[in-house]
Chains A and B, each alone.
Chain A
Amino acid sequence: MMLEIAIIVAGVLMVGIAIATILTRSLLVSVIMSGGVSLLASLVFLLMGAPDVAMTEAVIGSGLTTVVFLYALSRAKQPDDEDAAALASPPGDDTDGGQP
């Protein structure tokens, strides 16, 4: 019973975060959330009984892909994209309603 609940929670969370990944406008947030999607995917793989697939997914998806995407993002950075405005103001002063 609890295992089914864990599988359902991880699966629903994975699908919701994947939809939020393609709906967001900031590239940095998309990269972070795709890392979270692959993390939850490897958890679902493990709970369904495939530990080798889960290990590969955790290494490739959550580790390597995030680092490579962030490196490419920092190399291809333009001064007028959305992330520059999001990174310029610190998280403390919430002037524009919290949305980056």
Chain B
Amino acid sequence: MAETVFLVAVGLAAGALLLAGIRFARGPWAVDRTVALDAMTIIATSLIVAFALLAGRRIYLDVALVYGLVGFVGVVAVARYLEGGL
């Protein structure tokens, strides 16, 4: 039962990743792409957590942790550049 829920969560996160990726590839301005990159980071983190629960391996949660931290740093760097400060 729980495995089915995790499988559905992985599928839904894959669909959300596809939609955010389409906006990331098409978005006319760099600001749109930055926001889409942030959304893709969060969606990928949730997908990794669902996959870790599905696979039952604890090290995947560490990858999700690193993912959240590093994606934040990248998006902040891009936003700082767009502001003109970096």
Contact = CB atoms under 8 A, between A and B. Distances in A.
A51 B59 contact: yes
A51 B57 CA distance: 10
B70 A6 contact: no
A91 B29 contact: yes
Q: Would you call the interface of chain B mostly helix, strand, loop, or mixed?
A: helix
Contact of A10 (B17, B28, B62, B66): B17
B53 interface: no
A22 interface: no
Contacts of B24: 17, 33, 36
A36 B70 contact: no
Contact of B67 (A17, A42, A74): A42
B37 A63 contact: no
Interface residues of A, number: 45
A11 to B, nearest CB: 11
Contacts of B32: 91
A7 to B, nearest CB: 9
B25 A39 contact: no
A6 B14 contact: yes
A42 B24 CA distance: 17
Interface in A18-54: 20, 26, 28-29, 31-33, 35-36, 39-40, 42-43, 46-47, 51-52, 54
Interface of A: 1-3, 5-6, 9-10, 13, 16-17, 20, 26, 28-29, 31-33, 35-36, 39-40, 42-43, 46-47, 51-52, 54-55, 58-59, 62-63, 66-67, 70-71, 73-74, 86-87, 91, 98-100
Q: Which 9 A-B pairs have the closest CB atoms?
A: A98-B28, A63-B70, A6-B14, A13-B21, A2-B11, A2-B7, A9-B14, A66-B74, A67-B77
